[in-house]
Structure 1
Amino acid sequence: MAHTSVEQQGTVTLMLDNLCIKKQETVCLTDSYNERIRPLLDSVDTLRGLGVMKEGINLPSIVVVGDQSSGKSSVLESLAGISLPRGQGICTRVPLIMRLHNSRLDEGMQIVVEYNGKKLSIADSQITETLNSVTEEIAGTGKSINDTPITLNVWKPNAPDLTMVDLPGITRVPVHGQPQDIYEQISRIIMQYIAPKESIILNVLSAAVDFPTCESIRMSQLVDEKGERTLAVVSKVDKAPEGVLEKVTDNSVNIGLGYVCVRNRVGNETISEARQMECELFTRDPDLSKIDKNMVGIPVLAKKLMQIQAMSISKCLPDILKKIDATLSKRQSELNTLPRNFSTSAEAMIEFMRLMDSIKGMLHKLLVQGDIELFPDETEMHCIACLYKMFESYSHDLSSAFNNTPDDFLVEEVKLLEEARGVSLPNFLPHSVLVILLQSRIESISERSRDLAIMACHYIDKVVCRVIDIQTQCFPSLHSASRRAFQALIDRKRDECIRLVQDTLDMQKTIFFTLNPSFSESRQNWEEWKKTFLDAIKRNHNTVKLEGIGEINLKNVPKDSIQLDAAFDMKMSVMAYWSVVKMRLVDDIPLHLRFTFHKMVQDDIVNLVVKEVLGSAEPAKIGDILEESPKTATKRRDLLKRIAMLRESKYTLSKIIDKLEEA
């Protein structure tokens, strides 16, 4: 038995020696990877620091997710070789971006914490205290979380060149003073980071739990159903070694990038002690020793992460450059649409006249040409179509104003003829009766005609104001002067249109005249209609249907009146002449209105605005009128900053892509 024990010890020692050799090889390999991917990481970190992600351009990232107390922070500190905050509950309350840099041995360790534009250089022993205090500054002293990130830069000899984002651990039930919606807050932050296809998901799973039940697995599967960009780290394997082999080989949760099993640092162990204990665990434990050695240990995890990261960055860089180019063009176009600053009064005057031409040109397209391309999705700005609807409604109102009602046919005509009997010769229709009947009809539609003019002017008011707003929105002084000038103009035009309509109506009420052939042609049907009508009266019919008039109720017709024959002729005359008047009104009034608007666009608007502006400012001070608004000035500064950032990002990325192509 003693001999066997010595033999076993020798075997174990040999295996540990082999592991140490492999560990040294891994370090050398890590150094090799560091040399190759450091420039890639630097370029991505530079882009992140410049703020390119604020433009909606996602960058390759390793995002660390896991359920609460799954061991995420322990895995990260093992990779970095430093101590991070640990404990019960949520240790990570804000996103922690950890940038690991491999430095030379003679440079030692350097640590810099960045947040909200601040930078703090700290010692290794201050990491936990600093991260806790900065987290409290960002997220408060309670248990709430915040999406403002902290960046931890670590330069250390033999450190793997990695950039990772550690996110708050997932918890469903709020405890220890946590907000009631803690799960929703954490989910929102996690999905924000893992949803982009450029993100590599590092899912930390405790060996003691059933993987399919982990909330972190469910979330990662929402954005990476096939697991093509998910790598799983099984932590705390020393706490529950049994069944780990089956879990990582069965792969029931679709982890496409594979599994790596690790042992977390325990208690006050140093990093080197923890790694030594990890080597012994995967060599001596009867269950864990059966796991493929390419799936165990922090060195293996570091190597895999660097490989995956390098491949992801290399694959994404060309697309990122295209997105930067497209965004740069978009921002440049936005800047070009802003009015430029003017150094002289002459430049300001040129811009002022250009704006006046633009206002006139846009209004001409809208109100004269009926252009709909300027506002394809805004039907209320399709001016000719909108005016046509108003005119069409007016025409319909005039047509339906005097439809024959079944109960009063010829009642009014008989009454007026009897009252006017003796004023004119027999068999002649009294002109006074004709005037009364026609004037009453025209008077009844006068208000509707004036309303049409008011409604059309109100619509033109809205259209012109919209155009002025668009063209002068960057210049508050010019905008207010233009609006004042136009308001005075539209008030005058509204009064002018109402007078024009009233003159047209008065003309129709005063002068009864037409050479329209339709009036004479309609007389040819009167005698036949009258014969049918009178025949129905004699036969005591209750109704009669006349072509062109419709069905007439004969019950209330004054059948015994000697004026019945003349009343029918009067009725037909009025109907025929009213058709002529109606045709004139439905054409003339809209035509006059459109012509008024046409003249207003061609001559009045720009002249009035120019007079209003130049009348209140000396030419030398025209620049004051064109002083841009604070909103425009702020937008200009913002666009210039964005464009400078995008140009620098493009330059940085182009250089690294060129080097990759040369290699």
Structure 2
Amino acid sequence: MSTLNQQYEEKVRPCIDLIDSLRSLGVEKDLALPAIAVIGDQSSGKSSVLEALSGVALPRGSGIVTRCPLELKMKRKKEGEEWTGRISYQGHEEEIEDPTTVDKKIEEAQNEMAGVGVGISDELISLAIASPEVPDLTLIDLPGIARVAVKGQPEDIGDQIKRLIQKFITKQETISLVVVPCNVDIATTEALKMAQQVDPEGERTLGILTKPDLVDKGTEENVLEIVHNEVIHLNKGYMIVRCRGQKEITEKVSLTEALEKEEMFFKDHPYFHTLYSEGHATVPKLAEKLTLELVNHIERSLPRLEEQIEDKLAQTQAELDRYGNGPPSDMAERLIFLIDEVTAFTQDAINLTSGEELNCGENLNVFSTLRREFGKWNAHLDRSGQNFNRKIEKEVEVYEDKYRGRELPGFINYKTFEVMVKEQIKQLEEPAVKKLKDIAGDVTV
């Protein structure tokens, strides 16, 4: 596989490692990180492209095979060094010793996160591969866009996938890598439409044409026009690749052999040989372009990312300052700390009840607050008392006429008086409770 020059390779790895480390720390939950997201319709050849770049087999089959976002981190090692792999998801991390088991490990992770079947999840699976045969590159593979739900899939599976893809490609920090087969009308592909919706100028969209061996005779010129950016313009342009088809996979054609066949295909093709000579064709050329695009994108994004991190740090520090200092770790110091806190709280309570000003908050002068509130309550009682007096006078008159027995004039039966007082107290209960809540809210420290 052709490589970048040594000087540039030394520049590439630190940039990619920086973003990978930030993503592994969970920074992406708060800040958008530079990334390349791979999108395409179902059966667009997306998995084949990623297999050719990474050198390992990925889950295959009919329907949706990528059911979770897959972060594919590739690191180039020196010639002669052994292949290493590691998969991590939801706190689980596992070393992969055999590259032929990668697809099974991914399937296990997807079943764990999205359930066994055809559901999807927006939780990230991270697959790290280090080998002399891979480029220095990190990609995020997203589920292929389904147009119609098949057996076992939710009716809205297409909308679910689109929402997941939108979550990634809407970010200005994401380059959209759109995979489109050569044997379909590029203008009708859902993946390219989605990319155009969030990036109408094509500033951060790169097209990849696949399956050039399936192009109908007489349409080769159309493919040349697309790759030369004459049909749907994208600032980052187009690349074209030929990966293993199902027949070659069945015949167990290795990825290395497939790369050799790809090179011969483009070199000998009567139309596409010009694309090869121009550097627009083959997986190795695609790997070089993607690495260059990602590193340049990271370098352009770093100043803004640094500014966002500083802003977030300042916000977090301000929140911590509001909490004050926590208890010390030393047991003896903890006792002193506790005594000081209790003493300070007690003094604040004393100051509040004596009407003294405090620096710990506003409107905390309890006496003045209570004086205002109880003044209002006293006025309410006066009004209520006047009404009660009038009611008593009427009740006494009725009693005198109907129920007076041996009592002296002006004296009514105690039980009758008790009933009238209880009715008055009951009428005062609701406003009294409300007033208590108001006062409690005003004086709570």
TM-score by shorter chain over 0.5: yes
Aligned-residue offset at 1:160: 0.9
The question of 1:121 aligning with 2:96 is answered yes
Alignment of 1:139-150 (within 5 A): 139-150=114-125
TM-score (norm 2): 0.75
Instruction: Give the 3-state SS of the residue equivalent to 1:233 in structure 2.
Output: strand
Aligned-residue offset at 1:453: 7.9
The question of 1:337 aligning with 2:322 is answered yes
The question of 1:286 aligning with 2:276 is answered no
CA contact (8 A) 1:195 1:223 kept: yes
Alignment of 1:57-136 (within 5 A): 57-117=31-91, 118-136=93-111
Alignment of 1:236-275 (within 5 A): 236-240=211-215, 242=219, 243-266=222-245, 267=248, 268-275=252-259
Q: Distance in 1 between matches of 2:87 and 2:434?
A: 66
Instruction: Give the 3-state SS of the residue equivalent to 1:141 in structure 2.
Output: coil
Instruction: Give the 3-state SS of the residue equivalent to 2:228 in structure 1.
Output: helix
CA contact (8 A) 1:31 1:158 kept: no
Taking a change above 3 Å as real, the CA distance of residues 185 and 356 of structure 1, as seen in their structure-2 partners, is farther
Q: Supply the AA of the counterpart residue of 2:255.
A: I
Q: Distance in 2 between matches of 1:355 and 1:207?
A: 75
CA contact (8 A) 2:56 2:99 kept: yes
The question of 1:222 aligning with 2:201 is answered no
Q: Distance in 1 between matches of 2:318 and 2:148?
A: 49
Alignment match of 2:152 (pick from 177, 188, 198): 177
Structure 1 residues without counterparts, runs of 5 or longer: 1-22, 370-382, 402-446, 469-663
Q: Distance in 2 between matches of 1:449 and 1:88?
A: 75
Alignment match of 1:212 (pick from 164, 183, 187): 187
Q: Supply the AA of the counterpart residue of 1:52.
A: V
Q: Which residue of 2 aligns with 1:463?
A: 442
Q: Distance in 1 between matches of 2:197 and 2:113?
A: 29
Q: Which residue of 2 aligns with 1:39?
A: 14
Q: Distance in 2 between matches of 1:43 and 1:59?
A: 10
Taking a change above 3 Å as real, the CA distance of residues 201 and 355 of structure 1, as seen in their structure-2 partners, is farther
Q: Distance in 2 between matches of 1:133 and 1:48?
A: 22
Runs of 4+ in 1 over 6 A off after TM superposition: 447-454
What is the percent sequence identity of the aligned residues? 34
Taking a change above 3 Å as real, the CA distance of residues 146 and 458 of structure 1, as seen in their structure-2 partners, is closer
**Cα deviation code 1:363-409 (max 9, x no counterpart):** 9732669xxxxxxxxxxxxx99x98xx89x99xx9xxx9xxxxxxxx
Structure 2 residues without counterparts, runs of 5 or longer: 353-357, 388-425
Alignment of 1:344-423 (within 5 A): 344-355=334-345, 360=352, 361=358, 365-366=362-363
Q: Distance in 1 between matches of 2:436 and 2:112?
A: 60
RMSD of equivalent CA atoms: 3.4
Q: Which residue of 1 aligns with 2:296?
A: 311
Q: Distance in 2 between matches of 1:28 and 1:146?
A: 35
Alignment match of 1:295 (pick from 247, 255, 280): 280
Q: Supply the AA of the counterpart residue of 1:105.
A: E
The question of 1:328 aligning with 2:328 is answered no
Aligned-residue offset at 1:463: 2.8
Q: Supply the AA of the counterpart residue of 1:295.
A: H
Q: Distance in 2 between matches of 1:212 and 1:194?
A: 19
Q: Distance in 2 between matches of 1:181 and 1:231?
A: 28
Instruction: Give the 3-state SS of the residue equivalent to 1:163 in structure 2.
Output: strand
Taking a change above 3 Å as real, the CA distance of residues 451 and 69 of structure 1, as seen in their structure-2 partners, is closer
Per residue, is there more helix in 1 or in 2? Answer: 1
Instruction: Give the 3-state SS of the residue equivalent to 1:295 in structure 2.
Output: coil
Deviates more, 1:132-141 or 1:360-369: 360-369
Aligned-residue offset at 1:215: 1.3
Alignment match of 2:24 (pick from 49, 68, 71): 49
Q: Supply the AA of the counterpart residue of 2:180.
A: L
Q: Distance in 2 between matches of 1:35 and 1:175?
A: 47
Q: Supply the AA of the counterpart residue of 1:231.
A: L
Aligned-residue offset at 1:349: 2.9
The question of 1:196 aligning with 2:171 is answered yes
Instruction: Give the 3-state SS of the residue equivalent to 1:100 in structure 2.
Output: strand
Aligned-residue offset at 1:449: 11
Aligned-residue offset at 1:282: 2.1
Q: Supply the AA of the counterpart residue of 1:119.
A: E
Q: Distance in 2 between matches of 1:83 and 1:100?
A: 14
Instruction: Give the 3-state SS of the residue equivalent to 1:40 in structure 2.
Output: helix
**Cα deviation code 1:395-449 (max 9, x no counterpart):** xx9xxx9xxxxxxxxxxxxxxxxxxxxxxxxxxxxxxxxxxxxxxxxxxxxx999
Q: Distance in 2 between matches of 1:350 and 1:279?
A: 78
CA contact (8 A) 2:228 2:237 kept: no
Q: Distance in 2 between matches of 1:324 and 1:364?
A: 32
Q: Supply the AA of the counterpart residue of 1:306.
A: T
Q: Which residue of 2 aligns with 1:234?
A: 209
Q: Supply the AA of the counterpart residue of 1:351.
A: E
Q: Supply the AA of the counterpart residue of 2:308.
A: K
CA contact (8 A) 1:30 1:303 kept: no
Is the radius of gyration larger for structure 1 or structure 2? 1
Q: Distance in 2 between matches of 1:203 and 1:239?
A: 19
Aligned-residue offset at 1:319: 2.3
Aligned-residue offset at 1:69: 1.2
**Cα deviation code 1:12-57 (max 9, x no counterpart):** xxxxxxxxxxx7xxx2426554322101111111111222223x11
CA contact (8 A) 2:3 2:288 kept: no
Q: Distance in 2 between matches of 1:51 and 1:364?
A: 37
Instruction: Give the 3-state SS of the residue equivalent to 2:212 in structure 1.
Output: coil
